[in-house]
A and B are shown apart, each in its own frame.
Chain A
Amino acid sequence: MQSDAQTLPYPHAHEARHEEAGFWSTYVFSTDHKIIGIQYGFTALCFLLFGFFLMLMMRWQIAHPGQPVPVAGPLLASVLGDVAAKGTISPDLYNSFGAMHGTIMVFMAIVPLAFGAFGNYLVPLQIGAPDMAFPRVNMASYQFYFIGGMIMFVSFFIPGGAAQAGWTSYPPLAEAIPTNGQTFWLIGMIFLITSSLLGAVNFIATVIQLRAPGMTWMRLPFFVWAQFVTAFLLLLAFPPLEAAGVMQLMDKVAHTSFFLPTGLAVGGKLAQVSGGGSPLLWQHLFWFLAHPEVYVLILPAMGIVAEIIANNTRKPLWGYKSLVYSALTIGFLSFIVWAHHMYLTGMGTKIATFFQTTTMIISIPSVIILTCMFISLWGGSIRFNTPMLFVMAFLPMFGIGGLTGLPLGFSYSDIHLHDTYYVIAHFHYIVAPGTIFAMFAGIYYWFPKITGRMMSEFWGRVHFWGSFIFMNLIFQPMFAQGMAGMLRRMADGGANYSQAKAPGLIGGLSPTIMGLHTFILWAGVALAFAQIPFIINLFWSIRHGRPVDSDNPWEATTLEWQTPTPPPHGNFDTPVEVHRGPYEYSVPGHAQDFTPQNTPD
C-alpha cells in the first residue's frame, strides 16, 4: 500500500535546500508546510484504509470463527504463512490485527490526518504566516512519522507477526508474549512520539510567533485554537508514554522488571525476573497520554466543523469565546481524568471517586462546544453541500458518542460495561462518525484550495449517505451486544459464551445478540464499498474536477481563502494585515454577505 513516492531512498535530502529543484525536493523532501501537509494526509489516508482492512478481516473472523476469509484469505495465507493457514485467521493473528488496528487508527491515521495534515496545511495560512516557524523540523517530523509507520507495518511480516497485546500494550501480557512484535511496536511508537513532539513544538511556536499583524488571539479562527490546544496536549502528554515505552523496551530487551511484579508466573512457571515492578505503573503512564490523546483526536475535528458551520450557515459562530475557553478548559482537564480507564484495576475507590468527578466535569466544556455549534445553525440559511452534510452528521454522532460515555465515566456503571462492546461502540461513535466525518468534511471543503478544482458534489453525496447509514448500522448493534455482556478482544466473537454452545449458562449470549455479528460484518463490507466513490472522486478530481471560478469558491472569510490557488511557496503575494474577527458573515450594511479578515475597514 505504501507504494507512493515517499518510500524512495534518502540520499537526495540535500537537494531540498535549492529553491528551483525538481520532483524530489518539491514533493518528497519539501520544507513547505503545504506539501508536508499533503504528505501527511496521503500517508494517513493509506493507513486509514489499511486499518479498516484489518477490521474487516476481524469482523469476518468474529462472525464466522475459524472459516477461511473469502477474497482476501489466500492473500493472507501467502503473505503471513502459518498464522493464516488456509486463509483462516488464527487467534494469534486476530490479536495482532486487533492491536494493530487500534495503533494504526489512533497513532498513524487519525492523529496524523487531523493534526499533521490539516494542521500543517491550514494553520500557517489561517494566521497569515509564510510557513511554519521551523520548516526543516517540520520535514523531520513527517519523516519520523513515516519511519515509525514503516516499522509498525514491517512488524506484520517478521516471525511471530505484529504486537498482540492490544493498542494499550498492558504488561505483563505484552512482555510475556515471546515474539518480537511488541519490540517493533515500542520502537515504532518512539519514532511516532518523536514526530508528534517535533510537530507540537513547531505548531505552538508558529501560532505564538508568526501571526500576521492584527491577528490578535481573539481573531484566530477556532480551527487554529483547536490545533493550538491539541499541540499542547501532544507536547505534554506524549513524553510520559515515551518514558513508559522506554521502560517496557528495557523490560523486553534488558530484562528489567519495571512492570513485572514479584512472583509473576508465566505459563505455569515462575518467571525468571528480578520482580518488584508494577503493572499498574504502565497503565497510569499509558493513560496519562492516552486520555489527552482522545482530545487530540476530537479537537481538530471540532475546529474543522466550526469553520464549515460558519461558512455554510453564513452566520458568525455562536459563542466564539465560549468555544475558545471550552477548548482551553478541555485541554487542561484532559490531564486529570486518565484513571477513569482503570476503575477495575483495584487502584481503590477513593482514587476512582476523584477521577469520576473530574470526568463528569470535563463533559461540561465538551457539551458547551457542541451546544454552541448547534445554536450556530439556528436561524441560518444553510447551504447543504457535501462538507456541510458531513458536519451535520458529525453533530448528533458526536453527541451519541459523548452521552454514551457518561455511564462509562461512573465507576459503578462501568463495572458492568467495562471491556465490553459497549465501550467499542462508544468511542467509535466519537472517532469514526465523529472525527473521521469531520476529516471527510475538511477534505471536501479545502480540496478546491489545494488543487484549484472542486470534488464531485454528486459522488460526495453518495459517499456521505453510504458512510452515514452503514457507520450507524455497524456501531448501533454493538451497544446492545455490550449491554448483553459481550466482551471485546475475543477471537471467536464470544461463541464460547453463547447459549448455542453452552445451553443453560446463566447470562449466556442469546442467538439474537450473536446474530448481530453477521449483520455488523455485512454493514462493514457495505461501508467499504461506500468509500469507493470517495477514493475515485478524490483522485479523479485532482485533474478532472470542475475548476474553481475564484480563489474563494465558498465565499469564506478566513485568510487561507485570500491566497492564490493553490497557494505558492511562501503563501501570500502581498503582506497580510488583519482587520477583523474570523467569522464576519452577513454583516448588515455590507455589500457582500462575507467580509474577509484582511479587508480594511
Chain B
Amino acid sequence: MNIPYTVTARPDTGLYNAKLGIWLFLASEVMLFGALFSSYILLRVGSQDGYWPHGWLNIPVGTVNTLVLITSSITTVMAWASCKMSQFGRFKFFHACTLLLALTFVCIKSYEYHDKFTHFEITLKDGTWADGHFVENHLTKANNAYTGYAILKGHIVQDRKELFDVREHPAAHKEIRIEGAQIQSMERYGPWHHTYLAIYFTLTGLHALHVIGGAIVIGFLWGPGSRLWKTDPERFTNRIEISGLFWHFVDLVWIFLFPVLYLL
C-alpha cells in the first residue's frame, strides 16, 4: 500500500502531505499560544494599579537570546537550502550551528530561571521589605520562625510598590545583614510569587519545551536520521523543511514573547 503525495506535491494543492500537516499543526499552536497571550492581557489589565511589575527581567540577556534564536532560524534555512543544492556537508555544518544555538538559548534561559529562583522578597517585621539575592544564607526555619542570619545583596523598601517598578531606579545593590528574628516571611521569585511570574514561567517554559522538542528533532535529522539522505534525498529534504517550519514558528513565538514579557 502506498499513500500518495508523501514526497511529491499534489498538483491541485501544491503541497505534499506533511507540509500541509505541519501548517495545520502550527495553526493549532497559534491557538495554544494565543490563549496564553490573551490570558496575559487579561491578567495584566485586571491587576491592581501599581502592582504589575516592570523591569523584573534583564533586557540585555533577553536581547542576546533573541539574536541567538534569529541566527538559528537563518542557519535552519541555510541547512535546507544546502539540501536543495545537494551539498550535504554544508547541511551538516549549518544544522550543527542550529543545534549549538538552540543549546545556547536553553542555557541562557536556565540562567535567567536560576536568577529568579534565587531572588527573594523578604517581609520584615518592622513593616519594610528586603529584596535581593543571598550572598550568605545561615537562616533556618522552625515553627514558622527564622533563626540565624543572612547577608542579602539587594535593597530595603518602605512601600512594597517600589518593588514592582525597577526601571527608573535600578535597585541599589548593597550588602545587607538580616537577622532571622526580623523576618516575617520570605518568598522566592517563583511562579507562585506573582501572576506576572506565573504567566512568565508558563509561557517561557512551554516555549522552552518547544525549543527542546525542536532541537531533538533537528538533532535526530542531523545524526541518525541523516542516513535517509543516501536512499531518498528528496524525502530527507522535505523533513528538513518541515522541521525548519516548526523551528521558525518557535522563533516567532519568542519574537512575541520578548517584547511582551521584557519590554512592555
Contact = CB atoms under 8 A, between A and B. Distances in A.
Contacts, number: 137
Contacts of A244: 35
Interface residues of A, number: 46
Interface string B242-263: 0000000000000000000000
Contacts of B191: 250, 254-256
Interface stretch (A232-240, A511-519, A580-588): A232-240
Contacts of B21: 133-134, 137, 201-202, 205
B195 A274 contact: yes
Interface in A225-243: 235-240, 242-243
Nearest to A19: B1
Nearest to A241: B35
Contact of B5 (A210, A235, A246, A288): A210
Interface stretch (B41-49, B63-71, B231-239): B41-49
B202 A278 contact: no
Between B25, B28, B191, B202, the greatest number of chain A beta carbons within 10 A of the residue's beta carbon is seen for: B28
Contact of B199 (A131, A200, A240, A258): A258
Chain B facing A: main interface SS: helix
A281 interface: yes
Contact of A239 (B32, B194, B199): B32
B15 interface: yes
Given A134-B17, A205-B20, A209-B13, A257 B1 contact: no
A247 B24 contact: no
B10 interface: yes
Given A201-B21, A570-B1, A258 B43 contact: yes
Contacts of B195: 256-258, 274-277
Interface string B186-201: 0000111111011101
A94 to B, nearest CB: 32
Nearest to B190: A254
Interface string A250-264: 100011111000100
A197 interface: yes
B31 interface: yes
B192 A274 contact: yes
A262 B48 contact: yes
Nearest to A258: B198
B17 A133 contact: yes
Contacts of A569: 1
B261 to A, nearest CB: 15
Nearest to A256: B198
A239 B28 contact: yes
B31 A209 contact: no
A73 interface: no
Contact of A236 (B13, B31, B47, B199): B31
B166 interface: no
A233 to B, nearest CB: 11
B189 to A, nearest CB: 11
Interface string B72-97: 00000000000000000000000000
A276 B24 contact: no
Given A239-B31, A242-B35, A250-B201, 14 more contacts: A133-B21, A197-B28, A201-B21, A205-B21, A208-B13, A209-B10, A210-B4, A210-B5, A239-B32, A243-B39, A254-B201, A256-B202, A262-B48, A273-B192
6 contacts: A197-B28, A239-B32, A246-B202, A257-B198, A274-B198, A570-B1
